[in-house]
Amino acid sequence: MTLFFQVLVVGLTTGAIYALIALGYTMVYGIIELINFAHGDIFMIGTFICISIFGLFGITNSSAAPTGLTLVGVLVITLLASMVLCAVLGIVIERVAYRPLRNAPRLAPLISAIGVSLILEDVGKLWKGITIVPFPQIFPQRFFYIGSVEFSSVDILVIVVAAVMMVALQWMVTRTRTGRAMRAVAQDREAAALMGVNVNRIISITFFIGAALAGAAALIWGLKYGNTNFTLGFTLGLFAFTAAVLGGIGNLVGAMLGGVLIGVIEALASLICDTTQKGCLIGLPHGGSAWHEAVIFVILILILVFRPSGLLGQQTPEKV
Amino acid sequence: MAIANTLVPARDTRALLIKWIVGLLVPIAVFTFLWSGEAIINQSLLTILGLGGVSDIAVLIQITLFIVVFYATVIALAGYLVAADSGQRGMIELWIDIVFYVLLPLFLVISQGLIIGLALSAVLLLVYFFIRRRVYKALRITTAPPLQNLKVLDAEQQVGLKKRAIMGSFWFSVVLALVWLIADFIFYFSGQLPTTLLIWAVIRTLLLPVVGYFLGRLAGTIALRRTLAAKSNGNGENATDGAGKRIRRRQLEKLSTTRLQEEAKDLVPNDLPQRSSGATRFYLILLVAFVLFYPVIDPFLFGFGTNGRLAGYGDAGYYVILALGLNIVVGFAGLLDLGYVAFFAIGAYTWGIIGSTQLTNVLNSAPWDPHLLSALFWPMVIVAALVAALFGVLLGIPTLRLRGDYLAIVTLGFGEIVPIVFLELDQYTNGTNGIVGVHSPSFFGVNWSVVTPTPYYYLILALIAFTIFVNIRLRDSRLGRAWIAIREDEIAAASSGVNLVSTKLFAFATGAFFSGIAGAFHTAKLGLVSPDSFSFTDSIIFLAMVVIGGIGSIPGVIVGAILVYALNVFLPQQLAASATDPTSVFYSIQNGIVHFIPAFTFGNIRNLIFGILLVVIMIFRPEGLIPSARRRRELRAVDEEGVAVGALDVVPGAPGFEEEVRVE
């Protein structure tokens, strides 16, 4: 049982990060029905931005980590800078690659998004090389125990940051004027435009917020896992997108739920035993970790078979 | 107007003749004298005269056939184009078009090599489209008024038209013969032409006009049959009473203006009447001849390295099959599939496991006879395709209730699961190492080897031909119409009696079937299967091929597949190769950039280039390079006035109706 809860903690932390990225997918999808394949790569660029900003503060892998208020200052500045830079990147991408295709056939923006994703990947490759890039571990690691379940200070940081971001987003979308405009555009773009909503501006804001969340996710990912790579955006993006679909795409709470679920499923999958070892009768060859992607997708398919619009997605009646 | 019984052009025909003869002569001259046409002919002539040249008799026959087909088609094309010219496009416009469609690519291919040349000309062509569209818009150039061929041609006009075709071909051959003669004299006096070949020069000069005359007659007949007759018959029979005739006439005129505007955007430089299937046929003959004889004429065209190039085209070929298969699912049936690579992997592993010692190892039995295994390839292609199709159905069943992007994510998941299964079930598939030592196919007892790519080249040609044939037949079948109905509106289709379940499952199965064929070919050609070749990126690249080419359009998808392959695989290879050569301009470019970005190599920015091109192509041609006619009409439907877009040219029940409503 301890093992189970231990795995649950791992799943929750990873899932919180997935959820942050998934929010970007789900917001963009909700508003312009586009699978923004470049979103994961914005996250990847975000991790590189964080490393570079640490570098500006003189923090590298070998240097001693700052303490006390300096640490808080550095983290807050990096978080804000990463969010703003990613958000700007998101807006630029929207302006250059998606806006000209607003009225094009449906698959055209999708291919354009794939193109942007490939571009960002190679930019990452040229920037930091193709090897795994270490991420300075400046947040002090302390371990806490509840019963015999262990969790670290970084886990708490991740969950707190993710939770704050989500609550802020939820508040923004449900309580502010901009949020209301966003929901209006998502529901009916033309009607919203007739009511005086500046649709292009709202779409830009959506990209801004989504990419900013990815920037935040980038920092906490780096602090938690200590490395990054130019392909990271692709892998994580895939999971995050899956999370968004799982929760019901276009639904913010769904994306959060989906992200956490995917994280937990991924962690639980590692408990499946290895049939090539002795003493394992029911399991998968080479153990569950090798199969975690497959497990995630099988569960996703099963869920979609029974709930075709995701867990919290609304079953929209087909218009005739 | 009486038609003079001479070959001297009348005043109105003269301009036409000049327009087309110059337009066609320049590319032909470039091919013949600047590139390898002359060399190919001389080689085969020298062999025939017993003065050396090509040693292999089979190669000789193929070369000769190619020359005959190539030049004959071009001469006939000249006649056809003169006859079928509708005055839709002016002389200068046409010449500029020919420069960008034919001449620039030719020059670039000669100077830069095939791949870089083609890629550069593709980019130039895009720029040209863009500028041309802007200029047309700025100058408010509209397309020409409806064509005269909508009315019934009387016998005299028909004879006149045929006459024009004969004149076109005849004068084209005369000018070609003269140019050739002058060129040969120059070559002779500069000592580059053996004396014996002068006999040929004389024979050719005498022969060409005669050949031109007869080919012109043929082209004229085709022009009449293919271009004009079908149209005018349908029209003549339908309109019975006076008022109906007038209305019908007006409708037709409006429709033909729409059509003309559509055609003005076409890729083919067609100055042709609405139904240009005749000219398309000529272009097709040219293309087929070139592709069929390519392995033989490649050494003349590009020098050393034929084997490497042919191997590359084999790869491009299975991309074409994959794109056509995916087009059925995404283009015809409108089901977004992001995991298409799974079926490719299934096909590849099916032949990989059977065709190597893998299966017998797993079963702990004695290995099968290698000869038997090699011969087994042929039935196994079908089996691999059927296995893939079965998995297509298996994927289809749980997705029946899903729509749009939920479907996409499930297919994506499937595409992720399948490679993992192949990777992790290593007792059957050899895991990360993949399966090596897959037997090459054998044909009538002759074993192919992985190092000689020519048999694979022809095999993939045959497979592509099969795939295209099946695709066209399917598209025009009841099933194909059902797919398109589902794509357009699922509910409407269902209420019109389309069985959603079987239709969707058939779409998945058929798409997967072709993917399975491509997979088996891929394994056979490489002689191994590696789990690395089946990632999500590949699925996405397949999708990009379909969308870039023009979703749902068979020629478009073929072009898209070749283009994506060239841009994504060939071009980076060529760039990386030329960057290692110190004399090349790319070498200095690379060195220049490395100063600023240390990680820079041309191999490293493969995705960067590809990504930028994807975005640019999508922004400037979101409907794809060659959109299907139906989609083009849909897209234009918004800003079209006056004409009901769905209006038919032929009323239901009339003889031409079936043809008219055929789904494109």
Contact: B551, A105; criterion CB under 8 Å: yes
**What's the mean per-residue pLDDT of chain A?**
87
d(CA B549, CA B117): 20
Q: Which pLDDT value is given to residue A212?
A: 95
- For residue B104, give the 3-state DSSP assignment: helix
Contact: A301, B410; criterion CB under 8 Å: yes
**Distance between A97 CA and the closest CA of chain B, angstroms:** 6
Contact: A294, B421; criterion CB under 8 Å: yes
CA distances from B165 to A37, A151, B154, B170 (A): 54, 86, 17, 8
pLDDT single digits (tens) A231-260: 888 888 888 988 988 888 878 888 888 998
**Running DSSP on this structure, what letter comes out for residue B36?**
S
- Confidence band for A181, pLDDT divided at 50, 70 and 90: very high
**Residues A138-167, mean pLDDT to the nearest whole number:** 88
Q: Tell me, what amino acid is at B119?
A: A
User: Which residues in chain A are closer than 8 Å to B425, comparing Cβ atoms?
Assistant: 285
Smallest Cβ–Cβ distance between A293 and the set B416, B610, B614 belongs to B416
Query: For chain A, first and last CA: distance in Å?
Result: 52
Q: Which pLDDT value is given to residue B249?
A: 64
Domain positions in chain B are 11-238+270-295, 305-534
Asked whether the beta carbons of B86 and B144 are under 8 A apart, the reply is yes
Smallest Cβ–Cβ distance between B406 and the set A120, A121, A304 belongs to A304
Contact: B427, A285; criterion CB under 8 Å: yes
Contact: B600, A121; criterion CB under 8 Å: no
Contact: A126, B599; criterion CB under 8 Å: yes
Domain positions in chain A are 14-230
**Residue given tokens 């000069």 in the structure block:** B205
Q: What is the pTM of this model?
A: 0.83
Is the pLDDT confidence value at A177 over 70? Answer: yes
Q: What percent of chain A has pLDDT over 70?
A: 98
Q: How many CB pairs (< 8 A) connect A and B? A: 153
**Distance between A177 CA and the closest CA of chain B, angstroms:** 29
Quick one: closest CA in A to B395, which residue?
A301
**Running DSSP on this structure, what letter comes out for residue B151?**
S
d(CA B69, CA B55): 22
In this structure, the dihedral spanned by the alpha carbons of residues B480, B481, B483 and B485, taken in order and rounded to 10 degrees, is 170
**Distance between A52 CA and the closest CA of chain B, angstroms:** 15
Is the pLDDT confidence value at A319 over 70? Answer: no
Smallest Cβ–Cβ distance between B551 and the set A29, A97, A107 belongs to A107
Is the pLDDT confidence value at A8 over 60? Answer: yes
Quick one: closest CA in A to B550, which residue?
A108
pLDDT single digits (tens) B435-453: 888 888 887 667 677 677 8
User: Which residues in chain A are closer than 8 Å to B544, comparing Cβ atoms?
Assistant: 111, 114
Asked whether the beta carbons of B551 and B624 are under 8 A apart, the reply is yes
The answer for residues whose C-beta is within 8 angstroms of residue B411's C-beta and 6 or more apart is B336, B337, B338, B339, B340, B395, B399
Testing the interface with B: which of A249, A266, A304 to mutate, by most B Cβ within 10 A? A304
What ranges in chain A are assigned the alpha helix state H?
Answer: 2-32, 39-56, 68-93, 107-128, 153-175, 177-187, 189-194, 199-225, 232-247, 252-269, 287-290, 292-306
Contact: A297, B416; criterion CB under 8 Å: yes
The answer for residues whose C-beta is within 8 angstroms of residue B616's C-beta and 6 or more apart is B126
pLDDT single digits (tens) A13-49: 999 999 999 999 989 988 888 888 899 999 999 999 9
Quick one: closest CA in B to A286, which residue?
B424
**Distance between B399 CA and the closest CA of chain A, angstroms:** 7
User: Which residues in chain A are closer than 8 Å to B427, comparing Cβ atoms?
Assistant: 285
User: Which residues in chain A are closer than 8 Å to B548, comparing Cβ atoms?
Assistant: 111
Burial of B321 (0-12, 13-18, 19+ CB in 10 A): buried
d(CA B611, CA A115): 4
Ranges of residues in chain B whose predicted pLDDT is under 70: 1-5, 53, 86-88, 141-154, 226-278, 444-445, 447, 450, 630-664
Q: Which pLDDT value is given to residue B255?
A: 62
**Residue given tokens 């598939």 in the structure block:** B429
Contact: A293, B417; criterion CB under 8 Å: yes
- For residue A116, give the 3-state DSSP assignment: helix
Smallest Cβ–Cβ distance between A119 and the set B599, B611, B631 belongs to B611
